[in-house]
Structure 1
Amino acid sequence: MNVTMEQPIGARLVTSDDRERAIPATLRYTAADPLAVHIGFPAHVTLDGEEVTWTFARALLEEGLGAPAGIGSVHIWPCGPRRTFVEFHAPQGVALIWFDTLLLRRFLRRSYTVVEPGTETVDPVLDQGLTSVFGVN
């Protein structure tokens, strides 16, 4: 069954002059893409005026709630008991956004009711492609 869950969430964008701006976001998790979580931002808060969705590993979100995590375009780390920072790297620049940790944890727990951690499976075609790229059997 292809179950998708979404959760609107408020966030705070940290600007280059260390001010904060409230922005809306939407967290999404779908059984069709069980290893990933998605954070969407509406067009009016993006640089190019188009909706943007960032997709990254659900395990990265889980790890980043407890300790600094991430390489590449998404980095996540806790900042005290109530805030979690997510840093997005794109060709246009870097966005630093913080979320309420409790709400991120709640979303993560809800995602486990859709697909339990460790039971994720990927499409056989994708699995075959990954096997051929990495040369593992």
Structure 2
Amino acid sequence: MPAHHSVSSPQPCPKETGIDLPLDARLVLGEHESVDIPMRLGYRSDDPLAVALEFLGPAAEGGTWSFSRDLLWEGLERPSGFGDVRIWPPCTCHGRTSLRIMLRNRDSVALVDLPYRQVRRWLRHKAYTLVPRGSEDALIDWSAELEGLTG
């Protein structure tokens, strides 16, 4: 008699909705002075147009900053942004190999340097894999957004 094998039906895998990248960043204090700070870059498919940059540890009072995922991508190649968030790619002519982000609010300005290659790899292989560039609109509940705006 042939052996009987029980085959269970495959269970659906939970769809990944968010990804984080822990970072060893540097808070720029002056032209030749900076300190190491832990940060986290995050992306969620339920907020497909934005990334979140979170200050951790002793620098946690810096909060969490949300800004355009595409702005971060553009900033990898050329100076980008205006207003509260500005991004500069590495500047080899000045010996800077990191991605520089300026975060500004009403009271203060912070310059942080992030590891360029790590951020680029994460965006390309994680964030844009989770939600491909150009497909973000399909994930937004426009009725709910409009309801939120009109109350």
After TM superposition, is the score higher than 0.5? Answer: yes
Matched with 2:117 is 102
Deviations 1:29-71, CA, capped at 9 Å, x for gaps: 000000000010125215xxx3610000001001100000001
3-state SS, counterpart of residue 104 of structure 1: helix
* Unaligned segments of structure 2, at least 5 residues: 1-14
Q: CA RMSD in A?
A: 2.2
Q: 1:71 to 1:18 in 2, by over 3 A?
A: same
Tell me the amino acid that sits aligned with residue 133 of structure 2. P
* Unaligned segments of structure 1, at least 5 residues: 133-137
Q: Distance in 2 between matches of 1:129 and 1:61?
A: 29
Note the C-alpha offset of 1:18: 3.8
Tell me the amino acid that sits aligned with residue 81 of structure 2. G
State, as a whole percentage, how many aligned pairs show the same letter: 35
Q: 1:45 to 1:131 in 2, by over 3 A?
A: closer
Matched with 1:87 is 102
**1:118 paired to 2:134:** yes
Note the C-alpha offset of 1:128: 3.5
**1:61 paired to 2:76:** no
**Equivalent residue for 1:27, pick from 37, 41, 60:** 41
- The TM-score, its normalising length taken from structure 1, stands at 0.84
Alignment: residue pair count: 129
Tell me the amino acid that sits aligned with residue 114 of structure 1. L
Moved over 6 A (4+): 129-132
Is the Cα–Cα contact under 8 Å of residues 43 and 51 in structure 1 kept in the other structure? no
3-state SS, counterpart of residue 92 of structure 1: coil
Deviations 1:83-106, CA, capped at 9 Å, x for gaps: 110000012211011111101101
